[in-house]
Amino acid sequence: MSFALMFVDVQRNMLEGEFPVPEADAVRPVLSGLLSRARAAGAPVVHVLNDGSDIDPDRPHTPGWQPVFAAEPGEPVFRKTEPNAFSVPGLAASLNGFGVRTLVVAGFQSEFCIAATSRAALEEGYDVVLAAGAHATYPGSLSAPETAATVERELQADGIKVSPAQDLVFR
Protein backbone atom coordinates (compact mmCIF):
# COMPACT_ATOMS: atom_id res chain seq x y z
CA MET A 1 0.00 0.00 0.00
CA SER A 2 1.49 3.32 -0.98
CA PHE A 3 -0.85 6.00 0.41
CA ALA A 4 -2.07 6.41 4.00
CA LEU A 5 -4.24 8.96 5.76
CA MET A 6 -3.12 10.32 9.12
CA PHE A 7 -5.70 12.10 11.26
CA VAL A 8 -3.89 14.27 13.81
CA ASP A 9 -5.88 15.44 16.84
CA VAL A 10 -9.26 15.01 15.16
CA GLN A 11 -10.87 15.11 18.58
CA ARG A 12 -14.16 16.43 19.87
CA ASN A 13 -12.66 19.47 21.63
CA MET A 14 -11.60 20.79 18.21
CA LEU A 15 -14.95 20.42 16.43
CA GLU A 16 -17.56 20.46 19.19
CA GLY A 17 -18.18 21.79 22.66
CA GLU A 18 -17.40 25.16 24.13
CA PHE A 19 -14.41 26.24 22.01
CA PRO A 20 -14.32 24.56 18.59
CA VAL A 21 -12.03 25.94 15.89
CA PRO A 22 -13.80 28.71 13.97
CA GLU A 23 -13.84 26.63 10.77
CA ALA A 24 -15.33 23.54 12.48
CA ASP A 25 -18.53 23.47 10.42
CA ALA A 26 -16.57 23.68 7.16
CA VAL A 27 -13.76 21.27 8.10
CA ARG A 28 -15.83 18.43 9.54
CA PRO A 29 -17.46 17.31 6.25
CA VAL A 30 -14.11 17.62 4.45
CA LEU A 31 -12.50 15.33 7.04
CA SER A 32 -15.42 12.91 6.77
CA GLY A 33 -15.15 12.78 2.98
CA LEU A 34 -11.39 12.26 3.10
CA LEU A 35 -11.80 9.43 5.59
CA SER A 36 -14.54 7.78 3.53
CA ARG A 37 -12.43 7.88 0.37
CA ALA A 38 -9.36 6.48 2.12
CA ARG A 39 -11.35 3.63 3.63
CA ALA A 40 -13.14 2.88 0.36
CA ALA A 41 -9.75 2.63 -1.39
CA GLY A 42 -8.42 0.31 1.30
CA ALA A 43 -5.74 2.82 2.28
CA PRO A 44 -4.37 2.60 5.81
CA VAL A 45 -5.83 5.15 8.21
CA VAL A 46 -3.83 6.14 11.29
CA HIS A 47 -5.37 8.14 14.13
CA VAL A 48 -3.21 10.23 16.46
CA LEU A 49 -4.82 11.63 19.60
CA ASN A 50 -3.41 14.38 21.77
CA ASP A 51 -3.26 13.63 25.48
CA GLY A 52 -3.76 17.05 27.06
CA SER A 53 -2.84 17.98 30.60
CA ASP A 54 -5.24 17.92 33.54
CA ILE A 55 -6.43 21.45 32.70
CA ASP A 56 -6.87 20.90 28.95
CA PRO A 57 -10.16 20.09 27.22
CA ASP A 58 -8.47 17.07 25.61
CA ARG A 59 -7.18 15.43 28.77
CA PRO A 60 -7.41 11.67 28.38
CA HIS A 61 -10.77 9.96 28.69
CA THR A 62 -12.82 13.17 28.83
CA PRO A 63 -15.48 14.01 26.22
CA GLY A 64 -13.14 16.50 24.48
CA TRP A 65 -10.41 13.87 24.16
CA GLN A 66 -12.63 11.42 22.25
CA PRO A 67 -12.02 11.08 18.51
CA VAL A 68 -14.62 12.61 16.21
CA PHE A 69 -14.40 9.60 13.88
CA ALA A 70 -13.95 6.25 15.58
CA ALA A 71 -11.16 4.02 14.37
CA GLU A 72 -12.29 0.91 12.55
CA PRO A 73 -10.70 -2.50 13.13
CA GLY A 74 -7.15 -2.50 11.80
CA GLU A 75 -6.77 1.28 12.06
CA PRO A 76 -4.06 2.00 14.62
CA VAL A 77 -4.57 4.69 17.24
CA PHE A 78 -1.56 6.44 18.75
CA ARG A 79 -1.50 8.85 21.68
CA LYS A 80 0.92 11.75 21.88
CA THR A 81 1.93 14.50 24.27
CA GLU A 82 4.16 16.44 21.85
CA PRO A 83 3.20 18.35 18.66
CA ASN A 84 5.18 15.93 16.46
CA ALA A 85 3.25 12.67 16.11
CA PHE A 86 6.49 10.92 15.12
CA SER A 87 7.69 11.38 18.71
CA VAL A 88 5.38 8.44 19.52
CA PRO A 89 7.24 5.11 19.56
CA GLY A 90 5.95 2.72 16.94
CA LEU A 91 4.26 5.23 14.64
CA ALA A 92 6.84 5.06 11.85
CA ALA A 93 7.08 1.27 12.23
CA SER A 94 3.31 0.99 11.84
CA LEU A 95 3.34 3.09 8.66
CA ASN A 96 6.27 1.11 7.30
CA GLY A 97 4.43 -2.12 8.10
CA PHE A 98 1.61 -0.94 5.85
CA GLY A 99 4.13 -0.16 3.08
CA VAL A 100 3.32 3.54 3.17
CA ARG A 101 5.31 5.86 0.93
CA THR A 102 2.94 8.83 0.77
CA LEU A 103 1.31 10.23 3.89
CA VAL A 104 -1.76 12.46 3.65
CA VAL A 105 -2.00 14.61 6.78
CA ALA A 106 -5.18 16.24 8.10
CA GLY A 107 -6.41 17.55 11.44
CA PHE A 108 -5.56 20.19 14.04
CA GLN A 109 -3.91 22.66 14.80
CA SER A 110 -2.36 23.85 11.57
CA GLU A 111 0.62 25.75 12.95
CA PHE A 112 1.42 23.29 15.73
CA CYS A 113 0.75 19.57 15.39
CA ILE A 114 -0.01 19.57 11.66
CA ALA A 115 3.14 21.51 10.77
CA ALA A 116 5.38 19.57 13.18
CA THR A 117 4.05 16.17 12.10
CA SER A 118 4.24 17.02 8.39
CA ARG A 119 7.85 18.16 8.68
CA ALA A 120 8.79 15.12 10.75
CA ALA A 121 7.16 12.79 8.20
CA LEU A 122 9.24 14.42 5.47
CA GLU A 123 12.38 13.93 7.59
CA GLU A 124 11.39 10.26 8.03
CA GLY A 125 11.48 9.91 4.24
CA TYR A 126 7.77 9.94 3.41
CA ASP A 127 6.25 11.92 0.59
CA VAL A 128 3.88 14.19 2.47
CA VAL A 129 0.64 15.74 1.27
CA LEU A 130 -1.19 18.27 3.42
CA ALA A 131 -4.90 18.05 2.71
CA ALA A 132 -5.95 21.67 2.18
CA GLY A 133 -9.37 22.32 3.66
CA ALA A 134 -8.91 19.40 6.08
CA HIS A 135 -6.87 21.23 8.71
CA ALA A 136 -7.64 24.27 10.84
CA THR A 137 -6.69 26.23 13.92
CA TYR A 138 -7.69 29.07 16.22
CA PRO A 139 -7.07 32.75 15.49
CA GLY A 140 -3.94 34.38 16.88
CA SER A 141 -2.11 37.36 15.42
CA LEU A 142 -3.76 36.30 12.13
CA SER A 143 -7.26 34.99 11.53
CA ALA A 144 -7.64 31.22 11.63
CA PRO A 145 -7.93 30.92 7.81
CA GLU A 146 -4.92 33.22 7.33
CA THR A 147 -2.89 31.09 9.73
CA ALA A 148 -3.86 27.90 7.88
CA ALA A 149 -2.91 29.49 4.54
CA THR A 150 0.43 30.67 5.95
CA VAL A 151 1.19 27.16 7.19
CA GLU A 152 0.38 25.76 3.75
CA ARG A 153 2.81 28.18 2.08
CA GLU A 154 5.55 27.42 4.63
CA LEU A 155 5.13 23.66 4.30
CA GLN A 156 5.18 23.90 0.50
CA ALA A 157 8.45 25.81 0.76
CA ASP A 158 9.77 22.92 2.87
CA GLY A 159 8.92 20.40 0.12
CA ILE A 160 5.52 19.23 1.32
CA LYS A 161 2.79 19.01 -1.30
CA VAL A 162 -0.46 20.84 -0.52
CA SER A 163 -3.54 19.61 -2.37
CA PRO A 164 -7.23 20.33 -1.93
CA ALA A 165 -8.69 17.51 0.14
CA GLN A 166 -11.48 16.88 -2.37
CA ASP A 167 -8.90 16.25 -5.12
CA LEU A 168 -6.95 13.59 -3.25
CA VAL A 169 -7.14 10.04 -4.56
CA PHE A 170 -5.86 7.17 -2.44
CA ARG A 171 -4.04 4.37 -4.25
- Which residue among 113, 114, 130, 151 is the active-site one? 113
The answer to whether the Cα torsion of 50, 54, 56, 58 is positive or negative is positive
Helices (H), 16-161: 24-40, 91-97, 115-123, 144-157
Catalytic status, residue 17: no
CB within 8 Å of 102: residues ≥ 6 apart = 2, 3, 4, 126, 127, 128, 129
Q: Which of 36, 24, 13, 21 is nearest to 165 (CA)?
A: 36
**Cα–Cα distance, 144 to 10 (Å, whole number):** 17
Give, for 164, the enclosing helix (H) or strand (E).
strand 161-164
Q: For Cα atoms 143, 145, 150, give the angle at the middle one, nearest 5 degrees.
A: 95
Provide the annotated active-site residues.
113
